[in-house]
Structure 1
């Protein structure tokens, strides 16, 4: 990988680059990044951590950050983090090249994070994702503490095309509205795993670090993939094209098949475009946005209902704690009859209670939630129900979620999870 400065100008002009539109593809990306940084807030207490793979998406994001973050009158502190999965012999050299490119562009902090993902139920791609996010999260937290920052925000180069592919993956797996919402522009992250807190075992306080708040931003989520390549060319940057992202690449599933995302990118999306006579990516991305908006409203309503029907204060979330819901709660002169709520709201109430009681989020499926909703809407003495890590029992007008000390996962595929 080689790089050239992404801009030229008279002496001192670089201090004003943050407010100048670069024009062309880089200009579009610059504007998107500037808008996201304005939403993040102040550079005084926030460290930006760019997840730099060396590919065109993250490299174009780096070029834009030079203009709007490093050359700002109040410059942001930006650390570049590159993860080397060690999948290919060339990956070590490519990771070092990405770090050197970051330094050439003007980033003072750039490092390689190395780890090796083993076999697991999530397949090579899923295990690598878990490893990558864990490494990024811990490195971002550590770097923020060193620099005395109260907040760290990881920036990734996910594009509109990545969003569309994610929606198709989730649709094929029969996931929920929450899952079809796919990637969000902003997320709060678990400080240990790097996973969104909305997927955490305990949504209220999972992974909170007393010293540093961890977030995620995806500035390019509305940008097309071809634009990032054009921005790299405009900036004089040569990106790495990882063969692991291709169907014929070196990384396969446990069954020896191409990785699902690579197959969707190379086969499904072109086939959809040919069948529909138009590019399906923008519509799929809009679907994700609409699903996210609807899910947010449903989550807010479910949160209000949950705390109103919670019978007792929950314990500390350890296995064996009990969470009890009053199906006919009375607050003052107001009756909160849980039975009258629709299934979408009830599933979210049940999910909150299940996670608080110690259910395993990686095994909790939509089918589990529907089963518990059946205890509310259509109870005729059935139960108790065994969910991953907990037991749910109805006794009269009370629904009790009891954690089990042993791992009672039923082996459900993570592809059908409730998230």
Structure 2
């Protein structure tokens, strides 16, 4: 039985609202042993019918197996039906942070057995995500932030500050594990959390994290409407392998580039950026006889190239260095 103290009640209400909205009965909680996921686990065990905990051991630090097992034991103490430790091998592609994230999500996806996985991302994590997207300058989509439900991933705490989850752990009388990576200035997110966001809060008078999250929500809602318009148009014209320029050139740029994005993804493109989409768009609206545009995707030793031919956009696989 959880104590009815302020922080715990706030976390429980957030989880309860999420479960009611998304009908989450049988759920899995991704537990790291940190304050956010511990508070989430306690609340989920109290609010959901049945909760399993999955703990990922990345093996990146001495004693990580013991830390993972301790987290699993605590999950059962908090009321989870079961807890399982998933040991993963972390690669090096894309840097340590990205590789660890990829290994973690792959392991959780395999072990969830069809259930929704609840993640402990908070309002502060959302603000960091929006700032990182803003710095990339890859268009509105890059600053949409995280959704509260992006199947199979659920994020009930996106409106809850990390300070609340830490307070909840104090109220529960449990000490969360502090990952040394969370304090390392080698990681951009850590510097955003420790340096940039506090400075913004100070200079702008507070409320920055919540404002960034609201902005992301508004952009995501607007973007969803444009995506739907573009998807409807693409369904009507996108049956062939080529894309008819005349069919979309009169559309607003925001719709036109979304249609191009859908067409490229259908053709096997990956990791598309705003720069890619604008360059392909130029093949239609600023045609000066320029050559093709290489986009992400293709096979090893080859690249996907978009070109303009006879009033259509074509996508071909060419031998050579893959696009960045």
1:98 matched to which residue of 2?
71
The 1:365/1:409 distance shift into structure 2, 3 A limit, reads: farther
2:120 matched to which residue of 1?
157
Helix, strand or coil: the match of 1:36?
helix
CA distance in 2, matches of 1:23, 1:382: 65
Q: Which moved more, 1:52-61 or 1:166-175?
A: 166-175
Alignment of 1:100-139 (within 5 A): 100-120=73-93, 122-139=94-111
| Residue among 6, 26, 36 paired with 2:8 | 26
CA distance in 2, matches of 1:218, 1:260: 22
CA distance in 2, matches of 1:261, 1:386: 30
| Residue among 320, 327, 334 paired with 2:245 | 327
| Residue among 106, 125, 147 paired with 1:184 | 147
Q: TM-score, normalised by structure 2?
A: 0.92
1:261 matched to which residue of 2?
189
| Residue among 332, 343, 347 paired with 2:253 | 343
Question: Deviations along 1:276-316, whole A, 9 cap, x unmatched?
Answer: 2324211111111112112211211111111122142xxxx
Preserved CA contact (<8 Å) 2:122 2:159: yes
CA distance in 2, matches of 1:408, 1:33: 47
Report the alpha carbon displacement of residue 387 of structure 1 after superposing the two structures with TM: 2.3
1:399 matched to which residue of 2?
313
1:87 matched to which residue of 2?
60
Q: TM-score, normalised by structure 1?
A: 0.72
1:283 matched to which residue of 2?
211
2:30 matched to which residue of 1?
51
2:20 matched to which residue of 1?
38
Preserved CA contact (<8 Å) 2:138 2:275: no
2:169 matched to which residue of 1?
232
Helix, strand or coil: the match of 1:339?
coil
RMSD: 1.8
Report the alpha carbon displacement of residue 391 of structure 1 after superposing the two structures with TM: 2.1
1:370 matched to which residue of 2?
278
The 1:103/1:405 distance shift into structure 2, 3 A limit, reads: farther
1:196 matched to which residue of 2?
none
CA distance in 1, matches of 2:176, 2:288: 62
Report the alpha carbon displacement of residue 40 of structure 1 after superposing the two structures with TM: 2.1
Gaps of 5+ in 1: 8-21, 70-74, 145-150, 189-214, 249-257, 313-322, 329-336, 413-419
Helix, strand or coil: the match of 1:394?
strand
Q: How many pairs were matched up? A: 318
Report the alpha carbon displacement of residue 229 of structure 1 after superposing the two structures with TM: 1.0
Report the alpha carbon displacement of residue 30 of structure 1 after superposing the two structures with TM: 0.9
CA distance in 2, matches of 1:407, 1:38: 51
Helix, strand or coil: the match of 2:2?
coil
Query: Are 1:304 and 2:304 matched, yes or no?
Result: no
Helix, strand or coil: the match of 2:242?
strand
1:381 matched to which residue of 2?
289
Query: Are 1:246 and 2:186 matched, yes or no?
Result: no
Report the alpha carbon displacement of residue 406 of structure 1 after superposing the two structures with TM: 5.3
The 1:128/1:107 distance shift into structure 2, 3 A limit, reads: same
| Residue among 403, 409, 412 paired with 2:322 | 409
Preserved CA contact (<8 Å) 1:247 1:266: no
Structure showing the higher helix proportion among its residues: 2
Preserved CA contact (<8 Å) 2:45 2:51: no
The 1:99/1:370 distance shift into structure 2, 3 A limit, reads: same
CA distance in 2, matches of 1:366, 1:63: 41
Gaps of 5+ in 2: 299-303
CA distance in 2, matches of 1:185, 1:173: 22
The 1:340/1:139 distance shift into structure 2, 3 A limit, reads: same
Question: Deviations along 1:66-121, whole A, 9 cap, x unmatched?
Answer: 2211xxxxx2x32100111112113221111000001112212211111121221x
Q: Which has the higher contact order (CA 8 A, sep 6+)?
A: 1
